[in-house]
Amino acid sequence: MAEKTRCGICDRTFKDLDGFLAHNKAKHPEKVPKERNPLPIRKIRNWSILFAVIGIIVLGIFWGTSGIKTLPPTDMQGHIESSPASHVLREPMSIAVQKHMLEHSDGTGRPGVVINYNCNDYMCEEGLIENLEQFGYEFGYVYVAPFKNMDAKIALTELGKIEVLEEYDENLIRTFIEEG
């Protein structure tokens, strides 16, 4: 005959150990030792692989796009029918307006030339901005404006053409403007 087991908390008697253990689990769970779950190795492995793949993708995108240069536009796609307030600007000209000026200066007439400069990321010699602005005053179809985060100190653009300069060269700029 099986040995009877007694619950010391509620003074009940059970005909076997299995009944006693089931009673303790249901009525006195604080007295039952907790089962330790083994580490979910598969879950940890799967999540680690997922994070590694995502990390590789993000690094690939960053590496792939880090070599792309930011330069002013040379096409008209996406332009708007709007002209800047002046030929010489102290604030950046929007890309859509620059594209319109490449189409035709002041909304009519011949195609324009845009001179952009970046003196935030590049050391600009004294008088550079003033020298560039003179072209905007001299030629009625030339616009001069800063261009934030441009990957060049000076960029000359006209429809379908760009010239990037790291130093001021008056003759080269004048030739670019006049031959356009």
Q: Are 163 and 80 in contact (CB under 8 A)?
A: no
What distances in angstroms separate CA 109 from CA 73, 82, 106, one per listed residue? 20, 14, 7
- pTM, whole model, 2 decimals? 0.64
Which residues of the chain form CATH 3.40.30?
A: 95-179
Quick: pLDDT tens for 56-68: 999 988 887 766 7
Q: Which residue has the higher pLDDT, 21 or 108?
A: 21
Q: Give the per-residue pLDDT at 11.
A: 84
Cα–Cα distance measured from residue 25 to residue 123, given in angstroms and rounded to the nearest whole number: 76
Quick: pLDDT tens for 167-178: 999 999 999 999
Q: Taking the domain 95-179, which CATH number applies?
A: 3.40.30
Which amino acid, residue 143?
Y
